[in-house]
Structure 1
Amino acid sequence: MRSRRSLLALAIVSGLPGFVTAAPSPDAVTLDRVEVHGDHLRPLPTAEEADTTDRRAHHGADVAALLSRVPGVALQGAGGASSLPVLRGFADDRVRIAVDGMDLLASCPNHMNPPMSYLAPSQVRKAAVFAGLAPVSLGGDSLGGAITIDATPLHFNEAAKDWTAGGQLGGYAREQGDARGIDLALHAGDANTSLAVIANHAQADNYRAAEPFKTIASTGREGRVLPLDEVGSSAYETRNQQLTVAQRFEEQQVDVTISRQDMPFQGFPNQRMDLTENQADRVNAHWNGKLGGVAVDARIWHEQVDHAMDFGPDKRFWYGMASNVPGAMTEGRPCAPISQTCAAGMPMLSASRTNGASLRVDHTSAEGDALRAGVDLLAYRLQEDWPASGAAMWPGTFVNINDGQRDRAGAFVEWESSPGEGWTRLVGLRVDRVVSDAGPVRGYDIDPALPGSYMMTAADAAAFNARQRRQSDLHWGFAAMLRHSFDAGFSAEVGVVRRVRSPNLHERYAWSTWSMAALMNNTVGDGNGYVGDIGLKPESAHTLSATLDWQDKENGHSARLSPYVTWVDDYIDAVRLTNNATGFNVLRYSNQSARLHGIDASATWTLADGTAGHWALEGSASVTRGRNRQTGGGLYNVMPPQGRLGLVHHRGPWEARVDWEGVRRKASGSAARNEIRTAGYGLLAASLAWTSDDLRVDVGVDNLLDRFYQHPLGGAYVGQGATMMLAGVPAGIAVPGPGRSWRAGFRWSF
């Protein structure tokens, strides 16, 4: 019974991936961990366990942060609930992220609503990270590997003749930003039926850095100033609800999940806009079973997202001209009455609809060889309009993406076998076709008479509308992996893969070079403006990776080392359209070429295991280097060398740990973006947990020494002031991390 009261678990897979295709075995579940088992041969030691139950209080609403201890994973800063996982230098759309089998896309010109932002950490049952290498069965149209998240709550009670019911109640509070959250899960079921309801809520105010990091307190709003150590636009609020119904029929199972997210607000300190409303509704229907000895898995889903952006409370809302002097801006107070010389914010509306389906069949021979094949379809539609709010915008609506379409159809075949004792091999081939298109666009003003924005947008719109916008890309990819197990717990793995990704809709169809419009198209948080290119080619990556693994289960020791190198042809980087050597610029996406290489390492060493409890050291380190082979410069947002070391103690119901994280200075980066250099730092954290059969309580402190630091992937600070203008906010300030923060959390199972 204890194993079925698992609070939250995360199974982590890194290095050369295993073949995780089945749900975890029930006997693999413990109170604090879920170990992921692949079906068939289980050829690789895939499960690198990570106890994350104490980290909900640490990271609040950010699901991606649960992966931060995995070697090869870094986090690209965004809103408090929306950071982006980076796998060996690849982030965002370059990483395939599947939530409950659904491929979800960010429907926002700033990618404020990535797939993981639609979950709370308490909803995650298990996750797997395939850094760099991934079997073709895990999808295409990506470069950096794959992340799969399972958030479907299934509560079949094998031993019960009648229905049983239960649930979990959890909550947390964190000092920084007065962050707090609560979640409730209720479930009922018997041997063949499962019913589960989930609801959660989280919110936070702005957090503070360990020391002042800016010289300006003004926000552009009359009467509102921020302390010099407060990180503007870092507040958020989010709510999620989910209903899952599942039914078993002998060797078959059907489950349907209906979910909704309502996010009233999320500030972004590294974006010039804030999220002012995001409502997403999803229906996910899944069937799996056996037909004639063949395992079949089928899924169909629909997602509808309505997303709005504008300036939050820390960014200037009113813009206009003062004393009829062109170019002179008003102060933060309202300029009434609203007219063609005064603008009230800049509303931006995005609406997307996604329909997806997948079918997979697996056949395992009597010898244990496995043959897998499947198809998947994804149809994505996006409409993006920016209604006029005054000034040079009236009387029209700026159409950023008009009837955007991105359709993908893919098929794969994969063979897993054992050519000899101790050997396992996997080979697979995948083909995808991606078709994208968009309709004609327009700027705010279509009247050449002054005043207005006609001269700023008319030429770009005419050139865009005159071009052939439909693009069709054919991808082919492969994966080949080989592993051998030696005596004494050693194993060696090597693999090579080819993966291809087509540009997203904003990379191809964001059309305006007008700085104000370009600034609103930015998915990387660097403060610059971006313009698309219809003619962009798909990126293609070839990755070679190896892993050496040692497991001494008798003494509780382990170590893993994974070097890798990736070459990317037609890498989508950016070139300048303006040329400010130290400030922000407007850039255009451009195909170039790149190379990334590095090494990931992790180890666990048991120090003692006796009457004084279990003592162990846990460590990991990652080094990633990225270079633009065409320009010779660095790639944007590549994490500098980092390492973690933890001392963990378990005794009875108590668990204590002390963690140190060290990050080297970022000395290079993207010259085109004027990427900000950051200093190296070290952070210390401590936590204590007590666990019973029904209750877990966590307390802890992060950044114990109150160290000031700027995260290398945190982006440029544009969290306050006149963010609509290219030079309206100071350049060269990196978003700082939070100062010392006490935290506490609990989870009660009933």
Structure 2
Amino acid sequence: MNHLRFCFATAIAVAGPVIAAPDVDVDLPTVIITGVAEHPERTADSDTSTLLSNMPGYSVAQGGGVSGLPVVNGLGDDRLKIRVDGMELTSACANHMNPPLSYIDPGQVGQIDLVAGVTPVSAGGDSIGGTITVQSAAPFFARAGEGWRTRVKLGASAKSVNDGVNASVSASAADDTTSIGYTAAYARAHSYEDGDGQRVLGSMFESINQSATLALRGAAGQLTLRAGVQHIPYQGFPNQYMDMTDNTARYANLAYAGRFGWGDFDASAYWQKTEHEMGFFTPERTGTMPMTTRGINAGYAVKASVPLQAGTLRVGNEFHRFRLDDFWPAVPGSMMMGPNTYVNVNDGMRDRAVVFGEVETRHDAHWLSLLGARWEWVRTDAGAVQPYGTGMMNAADAAAARAFNARDRRRDDGNLDLTALARFTPDEGATYEFALARKTRSPNLYERYSWGRGTMAMTMTNWFGDGNGYVGDIDLKREAATTLAFTADWHGGGAKGWFVRFNPYFSRVNDYIDVDVLGTFNPYMKMGAKGTLLRFANHDAKLYGVNLAWSVPVVREGMYGSVKFSGNAAWTRGTRRDGGDLYRIMPLNALLVLEHELGRWSSQLDVRAVDRKDRVDVRRLEPVTAGYALVGLRTAFQARKHLKLTAGVSNLLDKAYADPLGGVYLSGLKAQGGALRPLPGYGRSFELGMNVEF
């Protein structure tokens, strides 16, 4: 059974399942609670972003099979700070086909944590929606005096809805001071079927991840070196105009953690390079248009935690450097895509330098406070660009390139984040938190520097899955969000007792990066479909809502085992001050879970219910989706100490539905014509899995 760690250092206070049990990376005050949404391991998952799907207020905007975009309380993608083994990774793609969580397979995850909304300044900046931290499995060490030991873990799973298969292996050899490890994970699937038994075209994928670890442990602390490579030979995106035809990434990171007489010290440095290609690879969606992207992330972070008489002082310094080149080679014989290489982003740069400090103070047995400030200097720039050509078919892009090249493109932002939190614990059965924060995010490179004004060029910049086209604005301002939140937690009965958690929040975002409408077009020249041409633009916005989570024992331990009822519900609204709803806001939704444990068996029946989505972004022509309820059933059996078997079925009733955040079905429109409709969701899927350790 997985346990959940809820980080109460913020008022939003939702966290991710602890997949394994390494030490927590951030030493903020925490409360350990079991039984919030425990479930048998879902080994058939291939997308790491889905590991948090049982958290209230969390959802995933569908991309490819391993590239979902997380959304927290209505804010997603670049509005979240995502760290993978301490690395800050940036999507090196105009369609965000390689988001940070796509660089680690679920089988390689040791721990994943989510802190939403009012995040401590030590947990990350350059974001307004929260922080997701992912750690690979912690290095394995033998006990003192045991000598060298080995550990091997194997995992395999399959699912029927897309003939998907997952496999993972990890192997370690270690004594009490040195650990050497290797992990590999493989995932492959065909295009999935919807609830009507129809194939969703262009949704197949294949992904391979490998990494090696060397860790040294001594009296002065622990030093860990990780290096790895990812290769995605292909990945279909049915809600995008393009597919991924290759993604190869290499990385290395070095981390040190030490404990001294004066306090704790953590330091890390990392480097990651991505080579990314888009185009077409399957008969389910044909075409010719090569697109190539090269991205490099590099940076470091240092943090010191010093005990005070009544609390802890944390100070730190970070630096992150990102470089991007995005170009589209000419297509021989094409009048539109040639004769030159289209240069979309030339030597794009985005550098961030950071300092922060925060003080956690325990005033007495009932009150704790957390105050922090974070300063970030962000510089962005890009070089000169060029269109495919200067003829009549490229006239709009040619004029846009001349105007772009004539501009001063360097921009410098000075961003200040502030966080204040107070926690009141009147007795053992209740905790109340009040939090206020100012969080900022500077525009990404595509928001500022995508420049094409031809319809085809604009539709190639789109990480929203909405079928529209986008162009950037060099003069975009940073987003600044002021968030107020409250969390009430009532609990009793110990680790396996009951709890109810209630969390309302309100966020006002000045200069929220949304869109202005420039014009319309017909996707794929289908007269029955309509899209819009949009420019990124600043508009004030507000988001507010409430999250609810609970767990109640129904039957305590006995002859027939134990039964528990748990779940959560979430409601979010997002609007612009000048009118209209924000894009990709999840409607009212709830997860109801009934769990049973008996000896080596653990089983779960769950129902995920989602309301009709009729509050939509009319500027993006966001589709209305009907309400639905999906039933899931799964079980796990601990056959032996080191052998676990899992089985389950998702969407048990084979319900036909469309996920409110799934976007539109572009690959279906191209092949079948007609009107543009929401992307169909996954049909019924039977799943089997096995985990072995020796």
Which TM-score band (shorter chain)? over 0.9
Matched, 1:468 2:408: yes
* Among 392, 412, 434, the residue aligned to 2:378: 434
* 1:165-564 map, 5 Å: 165-211=150-196, 229-314=198-283, 316-318=285-287, 345-365=288-308, 367-390=309-332, 391-392=334-335, 393-446=337-390, 448=391, 453-554=393-494, 556-564=497-505
Could you tell me which residue of structure 1 aligns to residue 525 of structure 2?
Answer: none
Which secondary structure state, in structure 2, belongs to the residue aligned with residue 578 of structure 1? strand
The alignment of Structure 1 onto Structure 2 pairs a total of residues equal to 683
Alpha-carbon separation, structure 2, partners of 1:417 and 1:641:
37
Could you tell me which residue of structure 2 aligns to residue 54 of structure 1?
Answer: 41
Asked if 2 retains the 8 angstrom alpha-carbon contact of 1:415 and 1:426, the reply is: yes
RMSD of aligned alpha carbons:
2.3
* 1:56-95 map, 5 Å: 56-57=43-44, 59=45, 61-95=46-80
Could you tell me which residue of structure 2 aligns to residue 652 of structure 1?
Answer: 599
CA 1:161–1:398 in structure 2 vs 1: closer, same or farther (change >3 Å)? same
Alpha-carbon separation, structure 2, partners of 1:636 and 1:112:
19
**Offset at residue 20 of structure 1 (A):** 12
Spell out, residue by residue over 1:14-61, the C-alpha distance to the aligned partner (whole angstroms, 9 max, x if none).
79369999xx9xxx99xx76497688783655788654652122x2x1
CA 1:611–1:37 in structure 2 vs 1: closer, same or farther (change >3 Å)? farther
CA 1:20–1:12 in structure 2 vs 1: closer, same or farther (change >3 Å)? closer
Determine which structure has the larger strand proportion and give its number: 2
Which secondary structure state, in structure 1, belongs to the residue aligned with residue 215 of structure 2? strand
TM-score w.r.t. length of structure 1 = 0.88
* Among 681, 684, 689, the residue aligned to 1:740: 684
Which secondary structure state, in structure 1, belongs to the residue aligned with residue 43 of structure 2? helix
Alpha-carbon separation, structure 1, partners of 2:489 and 2:343:
53
CA 1:50–1:693 in structure 2 vs 1: closer, same or farther (change >3 Å)? farther
Alpha-carbon separation, structure 2, partners of 1:687 and 1:491:
33
Could you tell me which residue of structure 2 aligns to residue 3 of structure 1?
Answer: none
Matched, 1:614 2:562: yes
**Offset at residue 251 of structure 1 (A):** 2.9
**Offset at residue 252 of structure 1 (A):** 1.4
Could you tell me which residue of structure 1 aligns to residue 134 of structure 2?
Answer: 149
* 1:660-675 map, 5 Å: 660-675=607-622
Could you tell me which residue of structure 1 aligns to residue 116 of structure 2?
Answer: 131
Which secondary structure state, in structure 2, belongs to the residue aligned with residue 410 of structure 1? strand
Spell out, residue by residue over 1:679-698, the C-alpha distance to the aligned partner (whole angstroms, 9 max, x if none).
00001010111013101100
Which secondary structure state, in structure 2, belongs to the residue aligned with residue 453 of structure 1? helix
Asked if 2 retains the 8 angstrom alpha-carbon contact of 1:404 and 1:439, the reply is: yes
Identity of aligned residues (%): 37
Asked if 1 retains the 8 angstrom alpha-carbon contact of 2:40 and 2:635, the reply is: no
**Offset at residue 577 of structure 1 (A):** 1.1
Asked if 2 retains the 8 angstrom alpha-carbon contact of 1:207 and 1:231, the reply is: yes
CA 1:431–1:87 in structure 2 vs 1: closer, same or farther (change >3 Å)? same
Alpha-carbon separation, structure 2, partners of 1:114 and 1:47:
30
Which secondary structure state, in structure 1, belongs to the residue aligned with residue 350 of structure 2? strand
Alpha-carbon separation, structure 1, partners of 2:149 and 2:339:
61
Asked if 2 retains the 8 angstrom alpha-carbon contact of 1:136 and 1:478, the reply is: yes
Spell out, residue by residue over 1:513-568, the C-alpha distance to the aligned partner (whole angstroms, 9 max, x if none).
10101111001110101100000000000110000001213471111010000000
Alpha-carbon separation, structure 2, partners of 1:594 and 1:39:
31
**Offset at residue 721 of structure 1 (A):** 5.9
The amino acid of 1:471's aligned partner reads R
Spell out, residue by residue over 1:384-432, the C-alpha distance to the aligned partner (whole angstroms, 9 max, x if none).
0100113122221000000000000111000001112211100000000
**Offset at residue 593 of structure 1 (A):** 0.9
Matched, 1:625 2:539: no
Which secondary structure state, in structure 2, belongs to the residue aligned with residue 577 of structure 1? strand
Asked if 1 retains the 8 angstrom alpha-carbon contact of 2:37 and 2:567, the reply is: no
Alpha-carbon separation, structure 2, partners of 1:615 and 1:66:
23
For structure 2, list consecutive stretches of 5 or more residues without a partner in the other structure. 523-528
For structure 1, list consecutive stretches of 5 or more residues without a partner in the other structure. 1-6, 213-228, 319-344
Could you tell me which residue of structure 2 aligns to residue 685 of structure 1?
Answer: 632
Alpha-carbon separation, structure 2, partners of 1:284 and 1:116:
16
Alpha-carbon separation, structure 2, partners of 1:293 and 1:577:
59
Which secondary structure state, in structure 1, belongs to the residue aligned with residue 326 of structure 2? strand
The amino acid of 1:467's aligned partner reads R
The amino acid of 1:237's aligned partner reads E
Alpha-carbon separation, structure 1, partners of 2:674 and 2:88:
38
Could you tell me which residue of structure 2 aligns to residue 574 of structure 1?
Answer: 515
**Offset at residue 729 of structure 1 (A):** 5.6
CA 1:196–1:669 in structure 2 vs 1: closer, same or farther (change >3 Å)? same
Asked if 1 retains the 8 angstrom alpha-carbon contact of 2:7 and 2:14, the reply is: no
**Offset at residue 72 of structure 1 (A):** 1.1
